[in-house]
Amino acid sequence: MATRRLLISYAHPDDESFGLGGLIARYVAEGVEVYLICATNGECGTVSPEHLNGYSSVAELRLAELDCAAEKLGLKRVYKLGYRDSGMMGSETSLHPDCLWQADQAEVTRRVVEVMREVRPQVVITFNRYGGYGHPDHIAIQRATTTAFSAAGSPEYDTGQEPYRPQKLYYSGIDSGFLRFAITIMKLRGKDPRRLGRNADIDLQAVLDNVEPVHARVRVRDYYEAWDEASNCHASQLGGGAPRLPLFLRKLLSPYQGFTRVFPAPPANRVDEYDLFAGVTADEAELDRVR
């Protein structure tokens, strides 16, 4: 079996750890090479002054936090695309000419294709079509990654690299049962589920309304400690969100993480896999290189 490679295509320094820390830790432990695209520098994250000590900018701080998480998780390589964080939808920052939301989509797609052809992952993960919680950068990288997934294998799409077709594309899923539970708890505590997070820009109700069907459920129960360790690297972005439940409770409530399989298209909207690499074959190009 050829080396298994997973490419995660996300937007901000912290998306990888907060969203997929357990999954990454699991696959790294199983010998999979995990690569990350982080499209922006995270300039728009709200940061308390004490966290900025020793850093010249929010971007510098957040990229350093990403390096910390990458090391804890054992990421093989992080591709920082360097776009400016767009901030919330409709905000002033989302109009900045250097931000990801304003970037030429064909150019972003091209950069993702270049990474795909270099890394040659069998499996690719990005956000769902709502960008998880509607963040413009999440939506922009989701669109670019989905287009790149189809384009990377085409000889007509010229980047000066050999074409390469990844085998599977997933959107990171959202546990709707857990989400309903969280919304109920927040309401009981008098918190507004439509204004969650350090930057008060997460609308949990809208997240729930945009949930997509889950086809793969990956067990992450044994990797919560590693998950927390990676998340703790992003200290400037912790706090202000929903309080972290005790470890045993999270393991009990969410032992699995769900994913929407975009390609190959699922025969029905039900869970039919427990491993993102299920059915992945050693591709011909890879075999040629080994020979």
Say which residues have a Cβ less than 8 Å from residue 276's Cβ, sequence separation at least 6. 6, 27, 123, 125, 168, 170, 216, 218, 259
* Residue number, 64 or 280, with CB nearest to Zn ion: 64
* Residue number, 241 or 255, with CB nearest to Zn ion: 241
* Residue number, 217 or 234, with CB nearest to Zn ion: 234
Say which residues have a Cβ less than 8 Å from residue 279's Cβ, sequence separation at least 6. 167, 168, 273
Strands 33-40 and 77-83, by their bridges, are: parallel
Smallest gap from Cβ 137 to Zn ion, in A, equals: 6
Smallest gap from Cβ 15 to Zn ion, in A, equals: 4
Smallest gap from Cβ 187 to Zn ion, in A, equals: 25
Smallest gap from Cβ 42 to Zn ion, in A, equals: 8
* Residue number, 11 or 196, with CB nearest to Zn ion: 11
Q: Quick one: tokens of 217?
A: 């459920």
* Residue number, 172 or 254, with CB nearest to Zn ion: 172
Smallest gap from Cβ 283 to Zn ion, in A, equals: 31
Residues of this chain that bind Zn ion (CB under 5 A): 11-12, 15
* Residue number, 13 or 121, with CB nearest to Zn ion: 13
Smallest gap from Cβ 11 to Zn ion, in A, equals: 5
Residue closest to Zn ion when measured from CB atoms: 12
